[in-house]
Amino acid sequence: MPYQAPLKDMLFVMNELADLAAVNALPGNEDATPDTAEAVLEENAKFVANVVAPLNHASDKEPSYLADGKVTTSKGFKEAFTAYAEAGWQGVQHPVEFGGQGLPKLLATPCIEMLNAGSISFALCSLLSDGAIEALLTAGSDAQKATYLEKLVSGQWTGTMNLTEPQAGSDLAAVRTRAVPQEDGTYKIFGTKIFITYGEHDFTENIVHLVLARTPDAPAGVKGISLFIVPKFLVNADGTLGARNDAHCVSLEHKLGIKASPTAVLQFGDNGGAIGTLVGEENRGLEYMFIMMNAARFGVGMQGIGLAERAYQKAVTFAKDRVQSRDLAGSAGPVAIIHHPDVRRLLMNMRSQTEAARALAYVGAGLSDIAHNHADAEVRKSTLAVYEYLVPIIKGWSTEMSQDVTRDGVQVHGGMGFIEETGAAQHYRDAKILTIYEGTTAIQANDLVGRKTVRDGGAVAKNLIAQVRATAAELAAREGADFKAIEAQLSAASADLEAVVDFVVANVKSDIKSVFAGSVLYLKLAGLVLGGWQMARAALIAQQKLDAAEGDTAFYSAKIVTARFFADHILSQASSLRSAIVAGSSGVLALDVEQF
């Protein structure tokens, strides 16, 4: 079915929950008006619907391939990327100084969601370029910025992130790629990198690889990793392309999902050494690479949300068209399956979780804009702490959610969902990688526990819980069964989250394995509660609109009902998560290794 961007919901969340007006008032964001936002989103929606989305299913059946050292991408991808770059979409959130549009992250985020709903395999190239741009903006020299940024921002060139090696997955201390200094200030790079997204392709004339490697005298472990720019083609002083660098794709991975995205094994230095230039200072590479990874982690969260939305739309269309069995309440003949209660439950599961994750992510994007652009340094600092707390949740919870939603999408299709021709199975397969790359859900949870909760004694988490309770108080002051039900679940869930935060802070030093045994469940609990909080806020605002007889009454009524469903069916899981986190570690850790 054709993809139609949920523009009404996107604009509602941007304006009412993420406070686009406040972001628009920040220095440098004067152009990000509600009217501009609506115009940008409408144009992006047209581009994705007409150019990108139609390629998704066909590209899954005929993925990228490698022949004679060159990668040919799926039919239509190269032309779509050229159109994407020429329209300026790669540069939406990047600085005007380097040819971007300089728009805030809050406005760019729906565009990222739409592109991924169109095709995750296609969108991955842009995601990696975004990360490379962020890393060079932060740590690149003036010369490196002048050489690379404008062409990356324009989409004339693309970027990659090279961390993983056969023996070094999540444990980057095991990186062995070598960087040997040369007399001219460059380095020769030797080593193998695996799982390199768009490490080779036919979209652009050059690919800018950012590569983690060790210099000869580097200290052991992660403290000895440096970051290098290693372009596919060397760049002359005048900006033109020079000789082919000694960096080559030797194979492509065959994958469960995202098949059209070329995932390369890159070999550096087989013919004398790939030429690289140091980014920033030696031995600070992991610090710089985390700039890319944090940008990518938020982007992967948006992949989950975009994919969930696409799966939901497909399931709704099928449920309205597929006629099977009589209505339980009686009917003259078989009815469309959307009339059957459990199909309704599945669709509401899909809808409510997608909307909750979207709301939390957009709110996070708005906080990022405040953290980077507010005039008050203290406001920037405190807001950044909140945004950084949310990033592993947005990445981890949204991607775990996408697995649940795409699975439900297959279930709505029944036996036809198990058949590849319908496309529902592709969404399910594509979703699996989202909980793995850019840091597994467990790694996001470790970050949430160690860096984002324990480090400040739970202060940021407790501040967010206080805001959740303030919303619960607003719900309590409202009449109506929906608001009473939402308030009851939100209040109980906020208490569960607070109890878990207290447990983590109190026990991490004395019983660290018990705390981390429940870390993924803590991440999920935080996602449920904070997503439920946004749904509750949406319900309150929707009722205000209805009271004022303002706007689309069907849309606002649906907002309230969807928030009620989320409270009844999703938020109600909080108490069981709390129990498993606080009291469930013994079962996780009880068996000896030999007993498995």
Determine, yes or no, domain membership for 312: no
Show the tokens assigned to 590. 């009880």
| Residue 188 sits in the same domain as residue 115 | no
pLDDT, tens digit (0-9, with 9 covering 90-100), for 514-569: 999 999 999 999 999 999 999 999 999 999 999 999 989 999 999 999 999 999 99
Q: How far apart are alpha carbons 1 and 4 in whole angstroms?
A: 9
| Residue 132 sits in the same domain as residue 199 | no
- State which residues form the domain around 452: 440-588
pLDDT band at 590 (very low <50, low <70, confident <90, very high): very high
| Residue 499 sits in the same domain as residue 454 | yes
Active-site residues: which are they? 438
**Mean pLDDT score across all residues of the chain:** 97
* Three-state secondary structure call for residue 102: coil
Strands 65-67 and 70-72, sheet pairing? antiparallel
* 279: CATH: 2.40.110.20
| Residue 166 sits in the same domain as residue 130 | no
| Burial 301-331, CB ≥16 within 10 A → b, else e | bbbbbbbbbbbbbbbbebbeebeeeeeeeee
Show which of 283, 305, 331 is a domain's final residue: 283
| Residue 119 sits in the same domain as residue 177 | no
pLDDT band at 290 (very low <50, low <70, confident <90, very high): confident
| Residue 27 sits in the same domain as residue 144 | yes
pLDDT, tens digit (0-9, with 9 covering 90-100), for 193-204: 999 999 999 999
| Residue 95 sits in the same domain as residue 183 | no
Q: Is 6 exposed, middle or buried (0-12, 13-18, 19+ CB in 10 A)?
A: buried
* 12: CATH: 1.10.540.10
* Three-state secondary structure call for residue 187: strand
| Residue 45 sits in the same domain as residue 124 | yes
Show the tokens assigned to 172. 């980057």
Determine, yes or no, domain membership for 30: yes
pLDDT, tens digit (0-9, with 9 covering 90-100), for 393-424: 999 999 999 999 999 999 999 999 999 999 99
This prediction's pTM: 0.97
| Residue whose token pair is 């507010």 | 374
Strands 206-213 and 157-162, sheet pairing? parallel
| Residue 28 sits in the same domain as residue 148 | yes
| Residue 170 sits in the same domain as residue 110 | no
Looking at residue 295, its pLDDT comes to 86
Show the tokens assigned to 439. 């840091």
| Residue 497 sits in the same domain as residue 452 | yes
Show which of 283, 306, 334 is a domain's final residue: 283
Q: How far apart are alpha carbons 414 and 418 in whole angstroms?
A: 7
Determine, yes or no, domain membership for 422: no
Determine, yes or no, domain membership for 521: yes
Determine, yes or no, domain membership for 532: yes
Determine, yes or no, domain membership for 416: no
Query: Any idea how long the chain is?
Result: 596
pLDDT band at 494 (very low <50, low <70, confident <90, very high): very high
* Three-state secondary structure call for residue 5: coil
Closest Cα partner for 129 from 99, 167, 165, 171? 99
Determine, yes or no, domain membership for 59: yes
| Residue whose token pair is 């004679």 | 68
More confident residue, 455 or 290: 455
Show which of 126, 153, 180 is a domain's final residue: 153
| Amino acid at site 416 | M
Count of structural domains, the chain: 3
pLDDT, tens digit (0-9, with 9 covering 90-100), for 61-74: 999 999 999 999 99
Mean pLDDT of 224-231: 97
Determine, yes or no, domain membership for 455: yes
**Residues 499, 582: contact at Cβ < 8 Å?**
yes
| Residue 165 sits in the same domain as residue 138 | no
Q: How far apart are alpha carbons 193 and 75 in whole angstroms?
A: 27
